[in-house]
Structure 1
Amino acid sequence: MAGTALLVMDIQNGIVGRFGEDSGYLPHLRRAIDAARAADLPVIFVRVGFRENYPEVSSRNKAFAAVAQYGGFTADALEIAPEVAPEPGEIVVTKRRVSAFTGSDLDVVLRAADVDTLVLTGISTSGVVLSTLRQAADLDFGITVLSDGCLDQDEEVHRVLVEKVFPRQADVITIDTWIEKL
């Protein structure tokens, strides 16, 4: 699996807290992270964040204008959830929009590491995972989505994306299946 990296996207305190600790998601995701590390695959963490006073946020951006108005995605909300925190030396990319590529140096990091295949996980399926998948496909990356490594507030939206939309541009498998292939 040379040339493959696991992206762990938007698993930060300001987002994870919306789902409650009982979801079982973080320990499950941790299995994928541990497996990638054991296979010597890069694990790259992506988070959304802004500077103080939100100079990156346009009033025309409906989603992020609301964040800027009420405050969020600064300070503690930027921190990756401790249950899946990066190890020393692992890359953390800060993005300024929904896609992991937009407003970040992710593409430069991936190209410098000769990564041509991405394994996507994150919160939310209908947000960062969808946007990153679409942009990664346009950038000619090979893509795998770990269906149970993604989480969304709307279970039906998650189901439609992983069963009907994502397979058009990515391989969609479970964490267990991916680990077996490593």
Structure 2
Amino acid sequence: MSRAPQHERHIPGRAALVVVDVQNDFCAAEGSLPSRYHFDLRFVDAMVPRLQRLIGSARAVGMPVIFVRTVHDESNDSPAWLGRLGDDAGSERASVTCRTGTWGAEFFCVAPQSGDHVITKHRFSAFVGTNLAITLTSLGIHSVLFTGVATEVCVESSLRDGLFHEFYVTLVEDCAATYDEAAHDASVNVVRKHFGLVTTSTELIDSWTSMGQTGGIGHGGQ
């Protein structure tokens, strides 16, 4: 199979927008991580309006939007997962973060609409133990645009696995955020150097607008 030209990786009909873990426990001031561990939400707060605009633009041009959410409970909290940090920190966070049926697990300032897709995950990567790859393939998707939180954890983990599942991957750097600017920048650089493309929401929206004006946008996910 021939490689897709760079500009074709971001067009409706080939690409899907994936929104990772934009949930209360990660993004709201009252959420478990920001409130208990004093996470800095400045970068998340600045990112969300850009993400909202990008989601609306993707829907308008017929691009599939896939919301990924993390949920944890006793059915998926394995000993290895709880003990991953080598002490009680992993267990402590897991016991309060995105618990099944809680407010913290609900989406933050974004929400699926009719025609969108929702994937529930239990680990950092949106591909582990989920049907995300099947959903993308069934929609005829070749390329995935990743957004959400946290850039260097669940977003980057999902992006890497997207490549390993043979999708073209792109990080939308201004629609991903974390709690530390240096961690975000490091993740962006790693992605750009090793795993995929890096773009911005403005570049995407401008390209979609230009394609629409020239009759180049095809609607739908096929």
TM-score (norm 1): 0.90
CA positional deviation for 1:13? 1.2
What SS does structure 1 have at the residue aligned with 2:79?
A: coil
Equivalent-residue separation in structure 2 for 1:99 and 1:110 (angstroms): 15
Asked whether the equivalents of residues 126 and 132 of structure 2 are also in contact (C-alpha less than 8 Å), the reply is: yes
Mark the CA change 1:180 to 1:71 in structure 2 (over 3 Å): closer, same or farther.
closer
Question: Corresponding residue for 2:21?
Answer: 10
Are residue 166 (structure 1) and residue 166 (structure 2) matched? no
Root-mean-square deviation (CA, aligned residues, Å) is: 1.9
Mark the CA change 1:159 to 1:68 in structure 2 (over 3 Å): closer, same or farther.
closer
Question: Corresponding residue for 1:80?
Answer: 107
Question: Corresponding residue for 1:176?
Answer: 202
Asked whether the equivalents of residues 14 and 73 of structure 1 are also in contact (C-alpha less than 8 Å), the reply is: no
CA positional deviation for 1:98? 0.2
Between stretches 62-71 and 148-157, larger displacement belongs to 62-71
Are residue 136 (structure 1) and residue 146 (structure 2) matched? no
Identity over aligned pairs, percent = 31
Question: Corresponding residue for 1:47?
Answer: 69
Equivalent-residue separation in structure 2 for 1:149 and 1:71 (angstroms): 22
Count of aligned pairs between the two proteins: 178
Asked whether the equivalents of residues 191 and 198 of structure 2 are also in contact (C-alpha less than 8 Å), the reply is: yes
Give unmatched runs, 5+ long, in structure 1. none
Mark the CA change 1:158 to 1:68 in structure 2 (over 3 Å): closer, same or farther.
closer
Equivalent-residue separation in structure 2 for 1:71 and 1:6 (angstroms): 25
Larger radius of gyration: 2
Are residue 69 (structure 1) and residue 95 (structure 2) matched? yes
Equivalent-residue separation in structure 1 for 2:62 and 2:130 (angstroms): 24
Mark the CA change 1:69 to 1:85 in structure 2 (over 3 Å): closer, same or farther.
closer
The one-letter amino acid of 2:79's match is: S
Q: 1:59 aligns with which of 79, 93, 100?
A: 79
- Paired residues for 1:103-118 under 5 Å: 103-118=129-144
The one-letter amino acid of 2:196's match is: A
Deviations 1:147-175 (A, max 9, x none): 0111011210111211x211122110111
Give unmatched runs, 5+ long, in structure 2. 1-10, 29-33, 35-40, 209-222
CA positional deviation for 1:65? 3.1
Q: 2:172 aligns with which of 127, 146, 151?
A: 146
Equivalent-residue separation in structure 2 for 1:95 and 1:133 (angstroms): 14
Mark the CA change 1:60 to 1:66 in structure 2 (over 3 Å): closer, same or farther.
farther
